[in-house]
Amino acid sequence: MNLGIRGRTAVVCASSQGLGKACALELARAGCIVVVNGRDAAALEQTAEEIRHETNANVVAVAGDVASHEGQQALLAAVPHVDILVNNNGGPPFRDFRAVDRTAMLAGVVGNMVAPIELIQRVIDGMVERRFGRIVNITSGSVKMPLAGLDLSSGARAGLTGFLAGVARSVAHANVTINFLLPGSFETRRLRSSMETAATKTGTDIAAVRASRESAIPAKRFGDPAEFGAACAFLCSTHAGFITGQSLLIDGGAFPGVL
């Protein structure tokens, strides 16, 4: 399918690896000029080169922390304007809520709620003026199915979803959409690290941890990041202009609800 976004400029936050990288790759395949981002400059440049090699796209690497004003400024200065914004950032570490102090809470809210809103504030008026804009916020399946230990992540991302619900409706008339992608368990470095930690704590073989987790998913497997990237690219396409304010859960059927 021709997504109709060739030549558009896309900024993909936290895209040196994992799901962010998958989104950047698919947008590059669609012909976008893509700005990739991460805090590790060497790893980021390697990602940028991989995407350039695979797609022949114009890929700009901007190292920096997307939660900081300096990082945001560098991202937005990399292209003349932003047509597509994919908000993404690592979540707070797994911990008992009793161990989350004020400093940790503020950092989690800034990273997973405030920073995406700040970026949207800076790009949305230009999108409205040009009568095209696509904003995709990568949150988490825990927004719909909260998990103990991920309380700060769930709370901040749910706050982002609620904050932007009204914003999405206020700009829909200008062909500017704001949507959310909620990943479940995907084959990423973070997932592998989580399984390794669980195996070490329980004295279990990592293969057994994997098998147990996969068996709990109706699809009986973890997600492929390429599947996630394709969903993101579609929401950024010209074909998705009538979809806004929606949260698309991609979890292989793990969430048992109907809504």
Side chain identity, residue 50: E
- Residue by residue, what is the 3-state secondary structure of 204-242? CCHHHHHHHHHHCCCCCCCECHHHHHHHHHHHCCHHHCC
Chunked mean pLDDT (size 10), the chain, 259 residues: 97 98 98 98 98 98 97 97 97 92 97 98 98 98 93 97 98 98 95 91 92 97 98 98 98 93
What are the Cα distances from residue 125, in Å, to 131, 176, 192, 223, 232? 10, 10, 40, 35, 22
pTM (two decimals): 0.96
- Report if residue 18 sits inside a domain: yes
- Report if residue 1 sits inside a domain: no
Nearest to 249 by CA among 165, 138, 155: 138
Dihedral sign of CA atoms 228, 187, 194, 66 in order: negative
Mark whether 245 and 199 lie in a shared domain: no
- Report if residue 4 sits inside a domain: no
Q: What is the CATH number of the domain that holds 92?
A: 3.40.50.720
Mark whether 30 and 105 lie in a shared domain: yes
- Report if residue 256 sits inside a domain: no
